[in-house]
Amino acid sequence: MEIQNLIHYTVWDWLMFFYIYSFIGWVWESGYASVGQKRFVNRGFLHGPIIPIYGFGAIGILICTMGVRENTALIFIFGMIGATALEYATGWTMEKIFHVKYWDYSNFKYNLNGYICLPASIAWGFFSVILVKVINVPIQDLVLQVKNVFTELAVLILTAATAVDVHSSVGEALDLKEMLEKLSESKEYIKRMQKRMEVVSAVRLEDYKERRAKQAKLLISQKEKFERNLAMFREIRTKQLNELLEKANSMRENTLFGNDEFRQITDGIYKQFTEMAGRRDKDFRRIAKHLKRNPTAASEKYSEALERIKELME
């Protein structure tokens, strides 16, 4: 593999490398998860069999190590730094956009904000050496042997399919973000109203986790468990809102609330009823599928709402 070949890759060659390594990354992630769970698991942000960060990582490593391919130590260092920087930037950007961490190294020693950690960076360094010295050699030969017209056609088809997949997956991620926001707002609203009314009477709600544990003992399918958990979740939210409405009416009758204050509270409660009714079961199922493909997703801003959705999936 001559350095001149690296420099004279065409744009089409680079794009083909990107798709090849994105696919290899998907095989690795999904294969590892499938072996661990003893069933097929489709991993990654997208629906299709590619994980783009692996493609971008491989391209970044090849570019960073162009001038040092004869020095294994420098390949390790340059590749580790480049891949780690990409991983941090990608993780930070995705959390800022979607308010969800799609990978989280917080439980590892020597991590930085959960986006990167020392063990992963070292692994990137070893991968860089293997990529440059072993993996890319036959892949480069294969790509360069294919006629340009076939490479360009394949890249165009893959790019079109990926664009459709990205549009769909980003839509799911934005739906998840919106759902987390609404669930968090709804929960915060209920908590505020409960504190406001506890001077009149204490509100005692049936413990949701206890009911879910009892339901888990039943021999039902995963789909039935999800539907039952979702129905239970709606039942509890409805009960909470009904209790708030009853207490508001009671306080109004005892002249503890004025007309304007009473109207403000009841309008807020009915708004929560409307928003809850608008969250369809199929919306929860769609988001659940997205989370199944990204089981390590975490959200610092909406952690409680995200955990509630994950509980529905258990």
Write down the domain spans for the chain: 3-146, 170-313
Question: In degrees, to the nearest 5, what angle opens at C-alpha 36 toward C-alphas 31 and 41?
Answer: 50
Rounded (10°) angle between helices 11-37 and 148-197: 50
CB 43 within 8 A of CB 30: yes
pLDDT at 145: 87
- Read off the pLDDT band of 3 (50, 70, 90): very low
Query: Average of pLDDT values for 253-276?
Result: 75
Query: Average of pLDDT values for 64-89?
Result: 90
Residue 174 has pLDDT above 80, yes or no: yes
**Dmax over Cα atoms in the chain, in whole Å?**
87
Query: Average of pLDDT values for 278-283?
Result: 72
Compare 222 and 32 and report the one with higher pLDDT: 32
CB 143 within 8 A of CB 130: no
Task: Provide the mean pLDDT of the chain.
Answer: 81
Query: Average of pLDDT values for 152-162?
Result: 94
Could you tell me which of 4, 51, 10 has the C-alpha nearest to residue 143? 10
CB 268 within 8 A of CB 189: yes
pLDDT at 214: 64
pLDDT at 205: 46
> What length is written for the chain?
314
pLDDT at 198: 66
Contacts of 238 (CB under 8 A, 6+ apart): 273, 276
Query: Average of pLDDT values for 141-162?
Result: 90
CB 200 within 8 A of CB 247: yes
100, 230, 295, 308 from 313: Cα distances, Å = 17, 9, 11, 9
Could you tell me which of 240, 237, 218, 238 has the C-alpha nearest to residue 228? 218
pLDDT at 199: 52
**CA–CA dist 77, 72 (Å, integer):** 9
Residue 95: count other Cβ atoms within 10 Å of its Cβ.
21
**CA–CA dist 141, 129 (Å, integer):** 18
Residue 194: count other Cβ atoms within 10 Å of its Cβ.
16
The pTM (predicted TM-score) of the whole model is 0.64
**CA–CA dist 313, 308 (Å, integer):** 9
Residue 89: count other Cβ atoms within 10 Å of its Cβ.
13
